[in-house]
């Protein structure tokens, strides 16, 4: 402690005065004879204890008063190390950049003081407020946030301290990732309007390596001061950084394996960290995990999902009968259990940054689907059978329990019970067989009732006979066979010198893929798309260009390079008809031997069966927009965020996609849609998950050299940040002593009044 007027401090010895007065007074008190001394004694005994205590308290108070008075006059103060930079005292224009990204939610004292610990963002806000207080009169400041996609709370320089304090106080924690590049750029734009020589950016951040990357450069002619709110302390953190699921067919059709990748950002290994698997918000499995220091570990769970049967979907008022039915039952907790869609998450025991201790996944459970293959060209040699490759695609391994129950039947056998099947394949059928069996009528009724029909063509197809027999089913009438490359005869591969081929070229590839069609969701990117394009088509049917005029249109899902349709989708009643204009075996194309064939066929079955489609969920991170597919007739869409808040979008008629940008929370987002005047119904196929950016979980500090490079001095040679002694701050104590003195005097007065 120091004193501004130390001589007065010596007078604190006056504190012994009250004691001396008390002792002296006792000796010098006058003697008074009193005949009623007995009465006085009796009275004194009644109040002696209380009186003694009061006198003692009075003596203590008086001693303290006698000590406090000279101390106040001596004006004591202490000096503390200030956490503000030395530059803050100079006249300047400043922009404060407060990093409000996810990593700033870290609570350094969470382990020891879970209830009272402050987050790094709280510390940054307090320091920003003190920085504003410390700016000299006349200095101007602005405020910018450091997370991705945010606006500046105070986008222009101002001397209005109240506004700055209010804006600082209003900064809220977020899940967003850091974008200091944009923040520094924005700050530089604000300072460009100023002519003052001292222009500074104060960056209040956790100085994490993911935030201050090597590419981050200070703006020219502007000094950047980095205020590390962590005080360079290590920040251990654990996080779930990856999550995906795979089927576990060895344990059943509905068994899934959930794999979580957990990272340990601390220097100490972690033993037996509790990990919990949640399905639809309920914990279903728990485990323990050991994590190495600064390492990753994998935790796997296997869980058997329990979907419910799908009831019949009622027609929605106001929609046409060709519209694809929406989910038949209301969602339960945002998830349609009847369709097998689930919200899966993996959670760790919360630590100092609990927001990254959970990750989410949207999981679809496949129904057990029954498929009927009507084989129009059965062969003794299975390999030559028209349906061979199709069967292999739908049942890849005999050892595994299949998700599809396949019944293959030649067309010349009796056919009954179409309604028992979820999808029917009519492969290379002869028109005569179709007419003899009156199959067209049955198939039409089947499709209109909600079934799915997949028609493939081949050598047995007679164009005119087909157009007659399947007039009510075909999306478009057939026109003419086109041969563009080698075709295979049965039992042999095409030989160049055999004379049996009608090769007119190398064959044609697929051209346009309608990726928005549900069938092609697995083919959004990567190897699957390439393998589709690698398929070569030697022969296919051209279709008559005239669309049907009955009001039912067909969607072209796949096209050839020439633009001719390869795969069409026609909605008929409550079902769909898919027409593949080539063969399903290797006679006319080599699609069956492409990797894309299996997922395409399985996806087609699920689509026709109205089963939830297994899509490779494209990851959506916080702040990234999400496309929500709309159906024909959708005019209103409501998106419910994980916290329960909703966003309603109206007047969407005619649009096919809604771009949703409010991905501000991690978790499961539910979608509901309706037509004009209709009731919002859940659209669980469009539900999606949003996760935090895993980069924000790494709390490792950026290298000192990188931070120093960011804080390079400006060109006029003004003082840099790290020169000289650490700044100190004087804290006057005599104000507090004065208040204490006042309290002591009031206390003495109250005690005296008690007499």
Residues that bind another protein (CB under 8 A): 25-26, 29-47, 51, 54-55, 755
Q: Which is nearer to another protein, 54 or 324 (CB)?
A: 54
Measured distance CA(728)–CA(85) in Å, rounded: 10
d(CA 261, CA 599): 27
> Cα-flanking dihedrals φ and ψ of residue 312, to 5°?
-65, 140
Please state, in angstroms and rounded to a whole number, the distance separating the CA atoms of residues 83 and 727: 8
Task: List the 282-291 sheet strands across, edge first.
Answer: 282-291, 270-279, 341-348, 358-364
Within 515-627, where are the H helices? 527-534, 597-608
Distances (CA, A) of 18 to 7, 27, 67, 381: 21, 14, 11, 119
**Phi, psi values for residue 63, rounded to 5°:** -65, -45
Comparing CB distances to another protein, the nearer of 41 and 480 is 41
DSSP symbol at 642: T
Q: Which pair of structure tokens corresponds to residue 80?
A: 């503390």
Query: Could you give the CA distance from residue 369 to residue 373 in angstroms, rounded to a whole number?
Result: 13
Report the phi/psi class of residue 449: left, alpha or beta, with left for phi > 0 and alpha for psi in -120 to 50.
alpha
Q: Going by DSSP bridges, is the β-strand pair 478-483/539-543 parallel, antiparallel, or unpaired?
A: antiparallel
> In terms of CB distance, is 31 or 115 closer to another protein?
31
Q: Which is nearer to another protein, 29 or 381 (CB)?
A: 29
**Cβ proximity to another protein, 22 vs 548, nearer residue:** 22
DSSP line for 645-700 = -EEEE---TT-SEEEE----S-EEEEEEEE-TTPPPEE-GGG-EEEB--GGGG--P
Q: How far is the CB of 18 from another protein (least distance, A)?
A: 14
Of 45 and 81, nearer to another protein (C-beta) is: 45
Q: Which is nearer to another protein, 112 or 754 (CB)?
A: 754
Ramachandran angles phi, psi of 36, nearest 5°: -90, 35
Please, are residues 169 and 125 in contact by the beta-carbon 8 Å criterion? yes
Shortest separation between residue 28's beta carbon and another protein, angstroms: 9
Please report how close the Cβ of residue 46 comes to another protein at its closest, in angstroms. Answer: 5
How far apart, in whole angstroms, are the C-alpha atoms of residue 344 and residue 336?
13
Least Å distance, CB 55 to another protein, is 8
Residue 665 CB contacts under 8 Å (≥ 6 apart), including other chains: 175, 622, 641, 642, 643, 690
428: left (phi over 0), alpha (psi -120 to 50) or beta: left
Interstrand relation of 508-513 and 536-537 (parallel, antiparallel or unpaired): antiparallel
- In three-state form (DSSP H/G/I as H, E/B as E, the rest C), the secondary structure along 269-282 is CEEEEEEEEEECCE
3-state secondary structure of 79: strand
Q: How far is the CB of 748 from another protein (least distance, A)?
A: 15
Q: Which is closer to another protein, CB of 37 or CB of 648?
A: 37
Task: Output the smallest distance, CB 749 to another protein, in A.
Answer: 15
Taking the complex as a whole, the smallest distance from the CB of residue 25 to another protein amounts, in Å, to 6
Gyration radius of the chain over CA positions: 40
Most distant CA atoms of the chain, gap in Å = 153
User: Which residue, 41 or 312, is less far from another protein as judged by CB?
Assistant: 41
Nearer to another protein, 21 or 159 (CB): 21
| Euclidean distance between CA atoms 601 and 391, whole angstroms | 10
Instruction: Compare residues 32 and 172 and give the one whose CB is closer to another protein.
Output: 32
**CA 229/CA 236 separation, integer angstroms:** 15
* 81 versus 753: smaller Cβ distance to another protein: 753
Q: How far is the CB of 33 from another protein (least distance, A)?
A: 5
Cα(666)–Cα(692) distance, integer angstroms: 6
528 with 521: CB under 8 angstroms? no
* Cβ distance to another protein smaller for residue 41 or 162: 41
The DSSP 8-state label assigned to residue 176 in this structure reads P
CA–CA gap between residue 504 and residue 489 (Å, rounded):
16
Q: Are 201 and 170 in contact (CB under 8 A)?
A: no
Q: Closer CB to another protein, residue 39 or residue 749?
A: 39
Pick between residue 29 and residue 215 the one whose CB is nearest to another protein: 29
Collapsed DSSP state (helix, strand, coil) of residue 16: helix
């Amino acid at each position: 402690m120091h004193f501004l007027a130390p001589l007065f401090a010596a007078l604190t010895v006056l504190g012994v005065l009250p004691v001396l007065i008390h002792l002296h007074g006792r000796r010098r008190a006058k003697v008074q004879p009193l005949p009623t001394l007995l009465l006085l004694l009796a009275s004194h005994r009644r109040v002696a204890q209380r009186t003694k205590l009061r006198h003692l308290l009075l003596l203590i108070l008086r001693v303290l008063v006698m000590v406090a008075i000279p101390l106040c006059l001596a004006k004591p103060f202490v000096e503390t190390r200030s956490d503000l930079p030395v530059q803050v005292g100079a006249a300047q224009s400043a922009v404060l950049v407060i990093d409000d990204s996810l990593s700033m939610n870290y609570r350094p004292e969470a382990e020891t003081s879970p209830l009272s610990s402050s987050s790094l963002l709280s510390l940054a806000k307090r320091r920003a407020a003190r920085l504003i207080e410390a700016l000299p009169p006349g200095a101007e400041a602005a405020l910018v946030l450091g997370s991705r996609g945010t606006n500046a709370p105070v986008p222009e320089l101002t001397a209005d301290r109240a506004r700055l304090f209010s804006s600082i106080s209003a900064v809220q924690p977020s899940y967003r990732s850091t974008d200091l590049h944009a923040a520094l750029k924005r700050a530089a734009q604000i300072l460009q309007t100023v002519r003052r020589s001292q222009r500074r950016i104060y960056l209040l951040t956790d100085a994490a390596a993911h935030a201050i990357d090597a590419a981050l450069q200070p703006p020219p002619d502007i000094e950047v001061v980095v205020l590390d709110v962590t005080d360079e302390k290590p920040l251990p953190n654990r996080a779930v950084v990856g999550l995906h699921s795979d089927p576990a067919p060895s344990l059943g059709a509905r068994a899934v394996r959930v794999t979580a990748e957990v990272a340990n950002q601390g220097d100490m290994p972690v033993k037996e960290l509790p990990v919990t698997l949640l399905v639809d918000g309920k914990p279903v499995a728990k485990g323990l995990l050991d994590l190495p220091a600064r390492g990753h570990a994998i935790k796997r769970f296997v869980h058997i999902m329990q979907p419910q049967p799908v009831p019949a979907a009622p027609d929605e008022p106001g929609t046409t009968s060709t519209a694809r039915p929406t989910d038949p039952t209301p969602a339960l907790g945002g998830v349609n259990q009847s369709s097998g869609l689930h919200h899966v998450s993996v959670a760790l025991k919360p630590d100092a940054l609990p927001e990254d201790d959970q990750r989410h996944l949207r999981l679809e459970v496949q129904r057990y689907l029954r498929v009927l293959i009507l084989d129009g060209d059965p062969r003794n040699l299975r390999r030559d059978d028209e349906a061979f490759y199709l069967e292999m695609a739908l049942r890849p391994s005999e050892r595994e329990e299949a998700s599809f129950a396949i019944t293959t039947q030649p067309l010349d056998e009796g056919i009954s019970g179409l309604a028992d099947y979820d999808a029917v394949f009519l492969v290379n059928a002869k028109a005569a067989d179709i007419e003899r069996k009156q199959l067209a009528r049955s198939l039409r009724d089947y499709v209109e009732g909600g079934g799915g029909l997949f028609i493939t063509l081949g050598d047995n197809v007679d164009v005119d006979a087909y157009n007659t027999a399947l007039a009510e089913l075909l999306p478009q009438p057939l026109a003419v066979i086109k041969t563009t490359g080698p075709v295979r005869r049965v039992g042999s591969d095409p030989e160049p010198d055999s004379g049996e081929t009608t090769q007119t070229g190398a064959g044609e590839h697929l051209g346009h893929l309608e990726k928005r069609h549900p069938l092609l969701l697995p083919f959004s990117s990567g190897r699957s798309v390439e393998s589709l394009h690698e398929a070569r088509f030697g022969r296919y049917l051209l279709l008559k260009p005239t669309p049907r005029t009955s009001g039912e249109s067909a969607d072209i899902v796949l096209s050839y390079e020439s633009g001719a349709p390869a795969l069409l989708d026609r909605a008929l009643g409550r079902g769909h008809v898919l027409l593949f204009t080539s063969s399903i075996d290797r006679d006319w194309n080599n699609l069956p031997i492409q990797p894309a064939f299996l997922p395409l066929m399985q996806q087609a079955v699920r689509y026709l069966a109205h089963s939830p489609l297994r899509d490779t969920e494209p990851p959506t991170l916080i702040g990234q927009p999400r496309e929500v597919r709309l159906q024909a007739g959708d005019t209103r869409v409501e998106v419910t965020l994980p916290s329960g808040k909703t966003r309603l979008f109206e007047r969407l008629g005619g649009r096919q996609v809604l771009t949703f940008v409010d991905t501000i929370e991690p978790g499961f987002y539910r979608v509901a849609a309706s037509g004009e005047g209709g009731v919002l119904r859940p659209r669980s196929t469009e539900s999606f998950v949003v996760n935090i950016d895993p980069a924000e979980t790494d709390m490792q500090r950026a290298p000192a050299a990188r931070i120093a490079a960011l804080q390079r001095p400006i060109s006029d040679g003004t003082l840099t940040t790290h020169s000289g002694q650490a700044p100190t701050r004087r804290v006057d104590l005599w104000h507090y002593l004065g208040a204490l003195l006042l309290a002591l005097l009031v206390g003495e007065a109250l005690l005296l009044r008690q007499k």
